[in-house]
Amino acid sequence: MKILLVEDDQAAAEVLKKILTHQHYTVDLADDGETGLSFAEMYAYDLILLDVMLPKLDGLTFCRQLRAEKNDTPILLLTALDSSTSKVIGLDAGANDYVVKPFEANELLARIRALVRQKSPALSSVIEAGNVRLDSTSSNVTCNGQILRLTAKEYALLELFMRNSHRIFSQEMLVDYLWSSEEMPLTNTVRAHIKALRQKLKQAGANDLIETVHGQGYRLKLQQNGHSQVKLSPATKLEQPTQVDAIVAERYQPQLSSALADIWKRFQPQYSDRITSLEQNITQLLANTLTEEQAQLAQASAHQLIGSLGSFGFVEASRLSREIEKIFRAGVKQSRVEVERLSQLIIALRQELERPVAIASDARAKRCLWQRFANIKQQPYLLIVDPDVQLSQQLINEAAIWEIQALVATNLIEVREAIAQNCPDVVLLDLGFSNSIESGLELLAELTTNYWDLPVLVFTAHEDFATRLKVARLGGQIFLHKPVPPASVLTAVIQVLERSNIVQAKIMVVDDDPQMLNILRSLLEPWGFELMLLDDCDRFWETLNAFNPDLLILDVEMPLSGIELCQVVRNDLYWSRLPVMFLSVHKDAETVNRVFAAGADDYLSKPINRPELIARIMNRLERTLTSNSASLPKKWV
């Protein structure tokens, strides 16, 4: 698929292009609005990624002119403007969607896939032709179950043929579809890629899958009856968006991390110069010599830093740049307090850029999380860390009764190897596994820090309160005092597994702000929740009954007040015990009292603190699960 990227910041453009090409997209790059519009008028694209602040022709005018020409190519706006007014203007101008800088690469890729699907609703992530299977979500091609190692162009060629099985593609058409405007290969290059692809297919057992139509080009070989041999398959459980993004990130993370670090190394001096220029502007502002024109240039410079620095993982630097931009936007007549605040911000910004690039800070934790998601339908996996061979065997036997797979590790090396090979669903840790309580606590800290979604149960002969307190502070979930019967240990393990299974719960969110719904989607989807996001209060009751959620999240101020919706829920016999959580910008005591008087179970203030939100949701669902379950199941299902 071919994407036009219109972005004037060269470093940010290179970062985006790296991310997109790793996903097998062909990318054309334009560094100003006029060039981008010319590209869009000359070539056919599947999607346009468009920055709002562009030289020569801004993004909004670009949208209006393209739509006036009846060009319906999906447009995804990239904007550092975080106000709802700016987004509404962008959508009214003809854009299909927007992301606010800085953004997560996974969110951007998910929105791209969503827009492409809207244009082609029948687009399937899995395509089969004979014994060849292509999965676009993981970029894997298999033949007879064996993975084919294809280059990016070979993969793109095969996907194009399989998705358009009745079409014949000339060499010129293939160049237009799969090569960017700056590459422009020779026709011999196209033939060479076709030949290499055919050889790999033949070696894997898929001979003659691509045929030559003499005088016209190439296509996927049809069956003898003239029908296509392509079969579209529905996405499997593993292909759901919550897991796909992590699989993609895991596969390409090493290459991307290295590539982005190289780009940052090349462009870091330019960003340093830009900050130096801002420092000079602030000095002029302190001396009351800054002109309106200079202030506007400073604002534009800070604005560009918001998205650029975020692209390299400098989240805090991006936030500081946004604050600087807002102060300069107010004009040159600043109060002394605001000017001093600018001085503090620019110092903090300079310090942030001296930190290393934070591209893959939680890769290990994500890898563990996605492994566990992939194994949801399999037996739960318990890792026992205990040198007591007899007790460990008793625990393994007891786990088998509950249909839980158990593995024993007796030292630190075995623990790390076991987790690296197959991340467990729960860890049972004896703090004295290495004859040192401190070593056990260090391992507990390592597990809860590096694998933040991995529950750890602690059992130990140390009963003192100080040890219990240390375990609680380090994130241990259950404390068991030895000696304890194996059946009791497995009962505790089942409780934790039930608690972990909460992430499959259904959550319904009602908020009339689409931006807030998108934020909540990005926060909650990675945890595996099934979500229903509703911005139309008039459809509340029918959606509630159709979706049947385990938790309801409401905003206070909407066309129909969230407090009123909560009262409706509490007045219904069936829904009266449904957990209800409120998110609101209001922090005053009167609003909070009204919310809880209406029957709310919890209340969080906006802006949302992600760890707090997840913790409260998990806690609320866990309490509901416990109160609704009279006893534990006899077997894990």
List, for residues 467-477, the tens digit of each pLDDT value: 887 887 777 77
Question: Which residues, at least 6 apart from 310, have a Cβ–Cβ distance to it below 8 Å?
Answer: 101, 102, 103, 317, 318
Query: CA 43, 48, 49, 52 torsion: positive or negative?
Result: positive
List, for residues 5-57, the tens digit of each pLDDT value: 999 888 888 888 888 887 778 888 898 989 999 888 887 888 899 988 888 88
pLDDT of 241 reads: 36
pLDDT of 552 reads: 95
Taking 90 as the threshold, does the pLDDT of residue 389 lie above it? no
pLDDT of 137 reads: 64
pLDDT of 237 reads: 35
CA distance 610 to 368: 20
Evaluate whether 614 touches 523 at the Cβ level (below 8 Å). Answer: yes
* CA diameter of the chain: 84
For the segment 386-405, the average pLDDT, to the nearest whole number, is 85
pLDDT of 374 reads: 42
Structure tokens at 400: 């088998």
pLDDT of 312 reads: 72
CA distance 25 to 40: 16
Evaluate whether 80 touches 7 at the Cβ level (below 8 Å). Answer: no
pLDDT of 254 reads: 42
Adjacent-strand bridge partners of 146? 143
Hey, is 390 helix, strand or coil? helix
Domains of the chain with CATH codes: 2-119 (3.40.50.2300), 126-234 (1.10.10.10), 242-352 (1.20.120), 376-498 (3.40.50.2300), 505-628 (3.40.50.2300)
Taking 90 as the threshold, does the pLDDT of residue 532 lie above it? yes
Taking 70 as the threshold, does the pLDDT of residue 309 lie above it? yes
Taking 80 as the threshold, does the pLDDT of residue 72 lie above it? yes
Nearest partner of 490 among 376, 396, 624, judged by Cα: 396
In the chain, what percentage of residues exceed pLDDT 70?
78
pLDDT of 48 reads: 92
Taking 60 as the threshold, does the pLDDT of residue 543 lie above it? yes
Taking 70 as the threshold, does the pLDDT of residue 251 lie above it? no
For the segment 140-144, the average pLDDT, to the nearest whole number, is 86
Structure tokens at 396: 């393994």
Q: How confident is the model at residue 355 (pLDDT cuts 50, 70, 90)?
A: low
3-state secondary structure 275-305: HHHHHHHHHHHHCCCCCHHHHHHHHHHHHHH
CA distance 104 to 87: 18
pLDDT of 376 reads: 41
pTM: 0.44
Taking 90 as the threshold, does the pLDDT of residue 456 lie above it? no
pLDDT of 152 reads: 80
Greater confidence, 51 or 367? 51
Evaluate whether 306 touches 325 at the Cβ level (below 8 Å). Answer: yes
